[in-house]
């Protein structure tokens, strides 16, 4: 267990370098199971989730090393399709091993994946999609098994445009010789990145960027090197941190094409942001306007940037509204912010109204999940005095070298082991 001690009230100033996207790097690790050669993943964030997924590949018979933001991964010698219990229970992303392992071995056994407690994220969308292909699934209390000897149906419609279900079906299809059509696909940037990687490695894919795609594996899938795109969620998070602390600085690289809805929302609030080719320049903003956001699948407002927006509401004169449509437990962090002095009305499990401006007080607070955790860190940065954020190891699952990056912006922050 770890905590972050923050002496807040100091406007952040300077430049921050955004790391590689967690949600792409993890899926590239899974894709390596389809290759018969080692893979070098450049610009890979050195975070706990990447280490955990790479450890699973190692436990299955592969090998890896991670240094200087380069992950060298060899999954060609993987011999097992039984996902180990302990590391899989630590992260949700272990679920995307199902598709490539099923394609490679014809069966896979796994515990139910862990991760953040932000609401029900059932695997039924995954299971029903595989069942539609002809798979047999045994659902246990703690584990499950999937077996698929021969694909019976080459067209599957996902019940929801789930990111990980889309990726699982894509990874499975990339290991088949006959094409599989997948409908109601997610089109998040990280999904598109995975599709482009598989295509470059030899898979035959049509419809990239659309809700309906067709995927088949090539005769020999091979790729030696790939570079991870910038993390759009980290980029948006640091923009908010600069705005709400009354600071100014540069966020680079800033994937503006992946953050259009988010950026427009902040600009409509009155935030002073100038976008250049590869960066966002944030200028001191004295007055912000109320907003209403409703999270949605891409290209809508990202659910992973919903919680930091509550801190923008804290700077606003008037009432702002948040509607979380994707996860029913993702407003739990608001109770922690209420304890710091934020005026919050919980309308229901998915909707909240926040009244500002708010004067926050330093507190000892607890991170509930990855994204709410970073929100509490930013709240502490806004607040004069010393705050302590418990369960900081949760935040480290998705934000690389966070204390170092914040210190470079002038923050007073210290990580301590509990």
Instruction: Tell me which residues are annotated as active site.
Output: 116
Nearest to 275 by CA among 262, 256, 260, 248: 256
Give the three-state DSSP class for 137: strand
For residue 212, what are the β-bridge partners?
183
CA distance 356 to 364: 22
CA distance 395 to 14: 22
CA atoms within 13 A on the CB side of 215: 33
**Where do the H-state alpha helices sit in 283-359?**
306-315, 333-340
For the four alpha carbons of 128, 24, 87 and 148, in that order, the dihedral sign comes to positive
Query: How big is the chain by its Cα radius of gyration, in Å?
Result: 21
- Cβ distance 248 to 13 under 8 Å? yes
- Cβ distance 142 to 112 under 8 Å? yes
As given in the structure block, the two tokens for residue 97 are 């091993």
**Where do the H-state alpha helices sit in 284-332?**
306-315
Degrees to nearest 5, angle at CA 81 with 80 and 85: 100
């Amino acid at each position: 267990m770890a905590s972050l001690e923050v002496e807040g009230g100091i406007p952040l100033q300077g430049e921050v370098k955004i790391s590689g996207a967690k949600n792409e790097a993890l899926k590239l690790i899974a894709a390596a199971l389809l290759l018969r050669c080692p893979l070098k993943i450049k610009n890979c964030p050195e975070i706990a989730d990447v280490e955990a997924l790479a450890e699973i590949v190692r436990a299955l018979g592969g090998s890896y090393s991670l240094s200087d933001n380069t992950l060298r991964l060899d999954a060609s010698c993987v011999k097992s399709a039984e996902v180990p219990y302990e590391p899989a229970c630590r992260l949700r992303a272990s679920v995307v091993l199902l598709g490539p392992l099923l394609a490679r071995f014809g069966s896979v056994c796994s515990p139910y994946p862990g991760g953040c407690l932000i609401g029900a994220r059932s695997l039924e969308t995954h299971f029903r999609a595989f069942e539609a292909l002809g798979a047999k699934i045994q659902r246990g209390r703690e584990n499950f098994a999937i077996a698929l000897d021969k694909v019976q149906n080459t067209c599957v419609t996902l019940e929801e445009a789930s990111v990980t279900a889309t990726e699982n079906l894509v990874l499975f299809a990339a290991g088949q010789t006959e094409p599989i059509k997948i409908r109601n696909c997610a089109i998040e940037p990280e999904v598109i990145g995975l599709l482009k990687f598989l295509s470059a490695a030899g898979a035959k894919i049509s419809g990239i960027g659309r809700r309906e795609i067709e995927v088949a594996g090539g005769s020999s899938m091979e790729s030696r090197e790939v570079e991870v795109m910038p993390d759009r969620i980290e980029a948006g998070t640091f923009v908010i941190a600069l705005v709400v602390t009354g600071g100014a600085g540069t966020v680079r690289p800033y994937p503006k094409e992946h953050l259009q809805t988010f950026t427009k929302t902040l600009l409509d609030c009155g935030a002073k942001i100038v976008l250049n080719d590869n960066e966002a320049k944030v200028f001191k903003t004295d007055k912000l306007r109320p907003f209403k956001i409703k999270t949605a699948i891409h290209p809508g407002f990202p659910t992973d940037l919903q919680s930091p927006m509550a801190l923008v509401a804290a700077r606003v004169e008037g009432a702002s509204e948040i509607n979380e449509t994707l996860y029913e437990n993702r407003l739990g962090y608001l109770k922690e912010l209420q304890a710091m002095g934020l005026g919050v009305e919980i309308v229901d499990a998915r909707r909240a109204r926040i009244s500002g401006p708010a004067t926050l007080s330093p507190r000892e607070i607890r991170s509930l999940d990855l994204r709410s955790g970073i929100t509490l860190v930013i709240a502490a940065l806004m607040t004069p005095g010393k705050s302590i954020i418990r369960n900081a190891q949760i935040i480290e699952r998705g934000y690389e070298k966070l204390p170092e990056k914040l210190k470079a912006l002038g923050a007073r922050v210290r990580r301590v082991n509990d």
